[in-house]
Chains A and B, each alone.
Chain A
Amino acid sequence: MDKLERINSVQMTMLFLFFMTGSSIVIIPAPLTNVAGNGGWIALLIALAMGMLLLACVLYLFRRFPEQSMIEYSRLLIGRAATALLFIPFTCVMFWHVAGIVIEIGLFFKSTMLKETPTYAVNSLLFATIALTVRAGIEAIARMVAVLLVLMFGFIILVCVLVGNLYHPEYLLPLMPEGIGPVLNAAYIAYGFPYSELVAFAMILPCVWTKDKPSVSKHLFLGLAINGATLILSIVCSIMVLGPLSGDLKYSLYQLSRLIFIQEIIERIESVIGFSLIVGFYFKASILLHILMRTVTQLLGLKDERILVFPVSFVCLLLSITTYTNEASMEELVNLTWPLINNLAYVGPLLLMTGVALFRRRIAK
């Protein structure tokens, strides 16, 4: 299956854009403005710069090993035993990572639209959909992505335009009333979610058609820039509308959509926008589950990954309903522990491999 599944560079970029923007567009503005106040967008710029550096590392290794995934070139660079040692925590964290996205969807539904529905029912239906999507393969996911990407970004822009009458640009000042500390703290949060997560994407980059490989770097950097611009737009818009409250209200974009009121014609459209935002969560979880399947099968040297999609999804589903089930503990994890865990499990192996690859190249010269 892996040998046949190929997508082009633009499709890979759209997957990347969904992966980076999908859940963060709903979640990230609130914690950033909560911690850094009006400096939230500066924190995002710092995190984006860190993300660019990580992407540069991923793409450097991709250029060196264009037909191999992260696990395959890790075996070439540091050997089989060290690879197994590095990728066991990587895989464990990724199991929870898929679950974590669905926990966020469950919490979003619970606090906004489906207040009486048990979280396990919501999560089960989502995981059934995600598992079926992943079983269809990356080509099918890539074919779906264009329409849904336009839908999601279209609604984001629509919300920002329709609340235009509520903008108060004066809310954007003062920029950093408490100094640089809170901004760095917020940058740490945004670096952990979503920017350090992009390392996982190194597992599926070899899926790009060989003729498209030279343009992948340019496209992915463009995708990351669009992601940064969209997140900054949503942070700035939520500050301009909600002012000091923007840090206290979760799901800023959804909160903005609740305020839309145009001549009694367009109002109470938050459910439509909420569901379009859910598409982002769904796609991110699907892409990540696909990456997880690839990681598990390559790590264990298996050939058929489709047969394992349902049990792996089942494990992720059960993790999503047995870990961090309340909002406060989940928020604490995302804002405090997740960036560190990501650094150890995802970024650490990437930096090690980049270092070894650079060292070997210098020795070869």
Chain B
Amino acid sequence: MFGKLVCLLALAAGMLIADLPKLGGTGRGERLLYGALCVVVLYLAVIFVTDAPLPNLDMLFDRFQRPAELLVRRLNPAQS
């Protein structure tokens, strides 16, 4: 967990040091999206550090597994 935290903090610090001075000169839309992306980063970082089973894109993708299986079975009936 410590290694993960150090890695994330180093990356976040690098990103903010590079972007914060320039952020003031951009439009309102860019600043809003930047903030929204930071919230997403924070959420995913919690999942990463704590290994919590919170909703993520893989859960959404897994919903397509069943229809995909049916499709593959139609193409290749021999597959069990």
Binding site for B on A (CB under 8 A): 35, 92, 95-96, 118, 120-121, 124, 128, 178-179, 181-182, 184-185, 188, 296, 300-304, 307-308, 310-312, 314-315, 317-319, 321-324, 329, 332-333, 336-337, 339-341, 344
Contacts and interface: CB of A to CB of B under 8 A. Distances in A.
Contact of B75 (A128, A184, A307): A184
Nearest to B63: A337
A108 to B, nearest CB: 19
Contact of B77 (A92, A128, A181, A329): A181
B71 A188 contact: yes
Given A301-B29, A312-B37, A315-B37, A120 B7 contact: yes
Nearest to B12: A314
Interface of B: 3-4, 7, 11-12, 14-15, 18-19, 22-23, 26-27, 29-30, 33-34, 37-38, 40-41, 44-45, 47-48, 56-58, 60-62, 64-65, 67-69, 71-72, 75-79
A307 B61 contact: no
Contact of A311 (B41, B58, B69): B41
A352 to B, nearest CB: 19
Nearest 3 CB-CB pairings of A with B: A318-B44, A185-B76, A311-B37
Contact of A336 (B22, B27, B33, B65): B65
B38 A178 contact: no
B49 to A, nearest CB: 10
A333 B62 CA distance: 8
A318 B76 CA distance: 35
A96 B47 contact: no
Contact of B79 (A95, A181, A333): A181
Nearest to A321: B48
B57 A337 contact: no
Contacts of A128: 11, 14
